[in-house]
Amino acid sequence: MIDGIWWLVILLAVITVLWLIAHLRSNKVNPKSGAHASAGKKPLTNDSLQKTAILIKKHFPNYSTSRRAKHLLITKENKKIAMITIDNSIAAGERRLGEVPIINYHRVPSRAQLGTDLQEIC
């Protein structure tokens, strides 16, 4: 049996060891921002979607766009009209997700191509 105060010393030693293990296994802190390294958001990297959004805002002012990570959501008068994706691994064309058509392009569409696709939808 453990006599006297030794049980307290052993308990504190176990707690200290567990704390050190947890501290060493935790995520490293970024010294510049003070946040965890994994907490940062990845920047949006699809430049083709950005160019398409600019094209829609410039030539089709009655439509508004909402940028997501891999698609553009096209709305008109707060009603979802279409979703545009630019992905080479998916066949170019149109499919539906419920009521909203999803239009996939392999590269930035031309103004005429966007115009015809948006007119077909409305």
- For residue 32, the model assigns a pLDDT of 56
Task: Give the mean model confidence (pLDDT) for residues 24-47.
Answer: 60
- Work out the burial of residue 53: count CB atoms within 10 Å of its CB; fewer than 13 is exposed, 13-18 middle, 19 or more buried: middle
On whether the CB atoms of residues 65 and 73 are closer than 8 A, the answer is: yes
Q: Are strands 100-105 and 79-86 parallel, antiparallel or unpaired?
A: parallel
- Confidence class for position 19, pLDDT limits 50, 70, 90: very high
Is 57 strand, coil or helix? helix
The domain spans of the chain are 6-39, 47-121
Tens digit of pLDDT for each residue in 57-89?
999 889 999 988 888 899 988 888 888 888 878
Task: Give the mean model confidence (pLDDT) for residues 38-47.
Answer: 58
- Confidence class for position 20, pLDDT limits 50, 70, 90: very high
Residue 53 has pLDDT above 80, yes or no: yes
- For residue 31, the model assigns a pLDDT of 53
The helix (run of H) or strand (run of E) holding residue 95 is: strand 93-97
